Chains A and B, each alone.
Chain A
Amino acid sequence: MLSRIAESLYWMARHLERADNTARVLDINVVHRLAAEEGLTEEGQWLPLLTILGADDRYAETYPDGRVSVQRVIRLLTQAETNPGSILNCLRLARENARAARDRISTPVWETIDALCRTAEARLKATLPPWQAAEFHAFVHREVATVYGLAQGTMMRGEAHSFTRFGALQERADMTARILDVRYHLLLPDPSLVGSPLDYYQWGVLLKSLSGFDAYRRLYQAGVRPVDVIDFVILNPDFPRSLVYCVSRLERSLERIGQRPEGEVGACLERLRAHLAGVGAADIMAQGLHEYLDAFLTALLELSDALTRDYFNHDV
């Protein structure tokens, strides 16, 4: 298929996934904010979120007084035109890419993305108080899931579908790794908090933002322990947002696309797989979770570059 169309499909999916993930982490934080009052400042509550989404610099620029408030965070991450990563901008870019690849996505998929984008634009004209924000985020979450469902049910399993999957999985792996990294980083330095209600709450939020809380509880009866969370979020092959799961599905998508003989994507995926294979959660903690995730994110970035070189760019 045309490189330009493949690239549009890939970015359409990445932006949708990005909007969904932003809505997800933001929503969980808004909903669970009250439960966390004890011992946690508003800054402590929101700064990690800004870090996960790579928006801390943008926040400092937008609000030079440095004061952190719910309303400001919601605004910046959900609707700010000036933030390229705001949900609104992600949805617009997703729609723009979908439009460019209109021929290659099914009509229901297009209609859902189009309607999602237009509804978001209409609803984000006003300031969203937290309770409305939560409702809006749930809406985004549902609609993106609808797009995926429709894509699964109505699109041929060919290149178009595979590039779409590839974009979504790559963005998802990226977000999962970042959520885990920032949360863990924030939590671990203070050993006194281990086992405290706050600790439980923070890990719970992490799992909830990945829609994995219920599954985790069923799997790990010992309670919410960092080592188990790491095992679940990084290494569980059946949890659809785990790093192992995403990487294995990326490999499957690549098989459908057809690997380019002189390409590098295959090697990049192999490196990601090797990074995840043969380690346990305890090993990861021992070598340092942050370092481990950092290496993963670097490899993921290399994959992204390789994909662009191999499939999207034939000018060079």
Chain B
Amino acid sequence: MLKSFQAGGTRWSDAQAERPAAAYHEFYRDDFQPREHYLPLWKHIQRAGQRGLALKAREAHLALHNEGVTFTLYSDQESGIERVWPFDILPRLVTAGEWTPIEAGLKQRIRALDRFIHDVYHEQCILKDGVVPPELIYRGRDLCRDILDVDPPGGVYIHISGVDLIRDESGRYLVLEDNLRTPSGVSYMIENRLIERRILPEFFQRYRVRPVEHYPERLLQRLRQLSPRGAADAVVVVLTPGIFNSAYFEHSFLAREMGVELAEGRDLVCRNDRVYLKTTLGLRQVDVIYRRIDDDYLDPLVFRPDSLLGVPGIIRAWRAGHVALVNAPGTGIADDKAVYAYVPDIIRYYLGEEPILPSVPTYQMTDPQDRDYVLDNLERMVIKAVSESGGREMLMGPTSTAGQRDDFTRRIQADPRRYIAQPVIQLSRHICYLDGELESRHLDLRPFVLHGGDEIEVIPGGLTRVALTKGSLVVNSSQGGGSKDTWVLAD
């Protein structure tokens, strides 16, 4: 671990010892010189010195605190703990050369997945052709029969997605997870950029960084276009589960940035298959709902009857074509982790193309051979529950105890459809400025994709999440991870 800052040196002496052989280092080359595109940043870091960085880090924390940029950590208590967004001042750089295939790969992936959802809810050709096993869909918990044969406004299901990318030991980008329901993080991507611009303006002078702050503007345009009454008269709202949700900050951020109402389920009411906002001047019809509530809680008449978060009748209104829901109901069938293994086939099936971005090898626990192999090698596996997110119900093999492994063995045997396994991948690492030290930490990247039908747009950047615990591979914000501003460099 770094103990002293060597202002004149080219690197920190013990950074080498800290780096395990396996993980790719984003910042250092194999000879422990900074990679070429990091050299200007590196010079700035050295010029700033320990005191300069400490000052910047303090400023950043203060700014995030004052602006109320928070994230709620769920704990045993229901209410959770509100924390200042953990932000590392050193940016992550992605070169134009790296970004081009990422962008193409994400567009390809989202286009195919969107067609997949449409197909499953209409003709089901892919199931009939046996490319994706029908039982995978029928035995999963996400297929919703109430929305079969519905044509969503604009014909698109996955309007907004956040796809988690990691880099493997050779530095190759892989898709780890598709988040197609209500992915969060885009507000933090923007806040990270705003803070970085303010505290490190000198860093920006040497780089041409592609902007991300226009996202809410683009989002609003896309949402308005979906209005059944036409974009000119569109009444758009953001639908939130409420202030106790971990991503409430983000919901209010987006509503504020777009200048639209932030509504809870109780603020909406359905009449005659239309959705209305309860305002001080009476009911006002709503055309587009950017909902940040999962399908399960969206409409107690269709999904969970005990839910108080949603709006009774909203699915009927959507089926009738009087309101656009974003993302459309049903997207869950495509980001089920059990479906993940079939995405390369899905891409080939609908687009007739080879996948640009590779996936992590995935073992199906429903397959006896796969299952036996995984159970014999649990220490080297990550086990994930297929319908969970945020790092819940997950086994990290290498750091697990025998008791935890026994527990998961029992769970997998009891309900194989519920779990998948992947080999542990050493996520790439990057230097972070932590408590006055420069240390390397594992990280991933969640870029955001807007699908507008004819055009798919990938915001150049994304949320880089950092595992703040040394050596940990768990980066989820809900598990206390940190973040970095992510700069996609222009050519």
Contacts and interface: CB of A to CB of B under 8 A. Distances in A.
B262 A3 contact: no
A311 B243 contact: no
Given A100-B243, A314-B269, A315-B269, A1 B279 contact: yes
B158 interface: no
B36 to A, nearest CB: 42
B266 interface: yes
B243 A1 contact: no
Interface string A238-280: 0000000000000000000110100000000000000000000
Interface in B253-307: 255-256, 261-264, 266-267, 269, 277-283
Given A314-B269, A315-B269, A103 B255 contact: yes
Contacts of A102: 252
A6 interface: yes
Contacts of B67: 107
B269 A159 contact: no
A3 B279 contact: yes
A260 B281 contact: yes
Contacts of B280: 1-3, 6, 159, 163, 257-258, 311-312
A315 B267 CA distance: 10
**Which of B67, B266, B280 has the largest count of A CB atoms less than 10 A from its CB?**
B280
Given A102-B252, A103-B252, A103-B255, A2 B277 contact: yes
Contact of B281 (A100, A110, A163, A258): A258
A103 B269 contact: no
Interface of A: 1-4, 6, 99-100, 102-103, 107, 110, 159, 163, 257-258, 260, 311-312, 314-315
Interface string B5-34: 000000000000000000000000000000
Contact of B243 (A2, A99, A159, A163): A99
A93 B476 CA distance: 33
Contacts of B269: 314-315
A interface, by DSSP: helix, strand, loop or mixed?
helix
A4 B278 CA distance: 8
16 contacts: A1-B280, A2-B261, A2-B263, A2-B267, A2-B280, A3-B279, A4-B278, A6-B280, A102-B252, A103-B252, A257-B280, A258-B281, A311-B280, A312-B280, A314-B269, A314-B282
Interface range on chain B (Cβ under 8 Å from partner): 20 to 34
Contacts of A163: 280
Given A103-B255, A314-B283, 14 more contacts: A1-B279, A2-B261, A2-B267, A2-B279, A3-B279, A6-B280, A99-B243, A103-B252, A103-B256, A103-B262, A107-B68, A110-B68, A159-B280, A314-B269
A258 B280 CA distance: 9
Contacts of A159: 280
Contacts of B266: 4
Contacts of A2: 261, 263, 267, 277-280
A314 B278 contact: yes
A159 B279 CA distance: 11
Contacts of B267: 2-4
Nearest to B243: A99
Contacts of B261: 1-2
Contacts of B264: 4
Nearest to A307: B280
Nearest to A262: B282
Nearest to A259: B281
A299 B81 CA distance: 44
5 closest pairs, A vs B, by CB?
Answer: A314-B278, A311-B280, A3-B278, A6-B280, A2-B267
B484 to A, nearest CB: 26
Interface string B55-67: 0000000000001
Contacts of A107: 67-68
Nearest to B283: A314
A4 B267 CA distance: 7
B145 to A, nearest CB: 30
